[in-house]
Structure 1
Amino acid sequence: MSHILVTGSTAGIGAEIAAELTRQGHRVVRHARDESRAARTRAAYGGEVVVGDLASLDSTRAMADALRGLDPFDVVVHNAGWSSRDSTRPVTVDGLERTFQVNALSAYLLTALLPLPARLVYVSSDSITRATLRLDDLQHERSWTADAAYADSKLALTALAFAVSRRYPKLLCNAVHPGWVRTQMSGDEAPLDVAEGAATPVWLATSTAPDAMVTGAFFHDRRQVRLNPQAYDHQLQDALVERCAALSGVPLPPADA
């Protein structure tokens, strides 16, 4: 039995990832944005729920503090994500673009603050095929659209996953596109249900099959795929890590951690 954290796990793909891991007998800690969502999640699923607003650096740090008070995690699934439905660039309490902060920077910060697990799974998106990572404008201060912000944030998340895999080669650290899944974010026109979307993240979190026992790869439907060459650029990965460290005020643990 593994001890597993799944962020963004009150609804959608994250809720199903947590549910399937629980069905498999693992001890799962869910994550909710606020106390009201946490209460509903405890009532619906039981178990442990940690609260943290990933659009706030202070709240994310407090969440990490609470998680460090629990038993160390064997696996962390960074599933939390956000996409704007407005045409106005959203800004958080920290003065950062919300899509980037929730989808990428918060995963960096939690990775930096939590003890390193044996496996890390970063839930990305095939939207990275149309993304461009611009380190001089990570937060789209010069131009902003919801679609570009989402795609670019997921490319940043993927590049971070690969940077982490290089920094800590003893871990299994991968990114995954779950597919176009029917959720509140994607809408009813998506072809896949949440169980299909959760299947590969769960597999990466738990399987001992040779195909899953790798690191630094991007998966879809349990197969490795390559969707954007920028994600594999080591120099860009390292520069992105430095930028995230500066924005969050927290460096990654030493490479021998």
Structure 2
Amino acid sequence: MAKIFITGSTDGLGFLAAKRLLADENEIVLHARNEQRATDVRQKLNVKDIVIGDLGKQSEVESIAKQVNALGQFDTIIYNAGIYTSNRELTFKVNDVAPYLLTALINKPKRSIYVSSGMHINAKLDINNLAKTTDYSSSKLQIVLLVKALAKRYPKMISTAVDPGWVPTKMGGQMATDDLTAGYMTQVKLATSDDKSLSGGYFHHQKPSCYDKRADDEELQDDYLEQLAKITGITI
């Protein structure tokens, strides 16, 4: 049994992963943006703890980290939460700043899993102007950069990135062509794996997959972390 925290777990892939991991008798802590969402999800899943906070606000992200640390040591954290919007500053805050901050502030688990997207390949990346230029694709390239950097810096932690595919969730829409179950089963499997050779990997439907090779550039990784540290005032 693993103790697992999942961001953005009141609906979509985060909720489905939580449901499956609960069925497998793991201890799950959910995350909700607000009290109402927490109340709603309690009616669907039998969980003891739900951490509450808005990932678009740094002060609340810092509060989320404190809430998680107060619950003790976790085996796995799944950074599932993400948004798809034309608001680039909000996209950057939720999709990139929040997982960066939580990674920096939460006591290191055995495994950290970050949800990316196949849309990250060939995305534009303006490393010196992230807050103004980050669209969804760029945000997911930054996630792969973060995973690669973490795998190098924290060899004892298994850090992985996942492309869930285009699946029919609220975000993906009903026209999505990928299998919904396959969209969360990679996260489920990685959440309890002790295979350290997986660290730094990028996975789609439980198999290693192609990713943008810019993410392997260690100088770019360092520049990225330096930019996030300047923006947030917090260093990994």
TM-score under structure 1 length normalisation: 0.87
Q: Secondary structure at the match of 2:176?
A: coil
| Mapping for residues 55-204 of structure 1, pairs under 5 Å | 55-84=56-85, 86=86, 89=87, 97-141=89-133, 149-204=135-190
Gapped regions of structure 2 (runs ≥ 5): none
Indicate the residue corresponding to 1:93 in structure 2: none
Q: Secondary structure at the match of 2:160?
A: strand
CA distance in 2, matches of 1:108, 1:232: 18
Q: For the Cα contact (< 8 Å) 1:55–1:102, is it kept in 2?
A: yes
Q: Does 1:219 align with 2:215?
A: no
Q: Does 1:234 align with 2:196?
A: no
1:60 Cα offset (Å): 0.4
Q: Secondary structure at the match of 1:108?
A: helix
Gapped regions of structure 1 (runs ≥ 5): 91-96, 142-147, 253-257
In the alignment, residue 45 of structure 1 is paired with which amino acid? L
CA distance in 1, matches of 2:23, 2:193: 15
1:138 Cα offset (Å): 1.2
Q: Secondary structure at the match of 1:136?
A: coil
Q: Secondary structure at the match of 2:203?
A: strand
1:37 Cα offset (Å): 0.5
Q: For the Cα contact (< 8 Å) 1:41–1:49, is it kept in 2?
A: no
Q: For the Cα contact (< 8 Å) 2:123–2:137, is it kept in 1?
A: yes
CA distance in 2, matches of 1:32, 1:54: 10
CA distance in 2, matches of 1:229, 1:12: 29
CA distance in 2, matches of 1:184, 1:193: 14
Give the CA RMSD over aligned residues: 1.5
CA shift digits 1:27-47 (9 cap, x unpaired): 000111111101101121121
Q: What is the number of residues matched between the two proteins?
A: 235
Identity between Structure 1 and Structure 2 (%): 37
Q: For the Cα contact (< 8 Å) 2:128–2:227, is it kept in 1?
A: no
CA shift digits 1:42-72 (9 cap, x unpaired): 1211212110100000000011111111021
Q: For the Cα contact (< 8 Å) 1:162–1:216, is it kept in 2?
A: yes
CA distance in 1, matches of 2:75, 2:203: 20
TM-score under structure 2 length normalisation: 0.95
1:193 Cα offset (Å): 4.3
1:191 Cα offset (Å): 2.0
Q: Does 1:49 align with 2:50?
A: yes
Greater shift, 184-193 or 231-240, is seen at 184-193
Q: Secondary structure at the match of 2:131?
A: coil
Q: For the Cα contact (< 8 Å) 2:118–2:163, is it kept in 1?
A: yes
CA distance in 2, matches of 1:196, 1:222: 8
Greater shift, 16-25 or 218-227, is seen at 218-227
CA shift digits 1:105-162 (9 cap, x unpaired): 1000000000000001001000011312221221235xxxxxx700000111110111
CA shift digits 1:201-243 (9 cap, x unpaired): 11111135x5x75211111111112321111111111111111
Q: Does 1:251 align with 2:203?
A: no
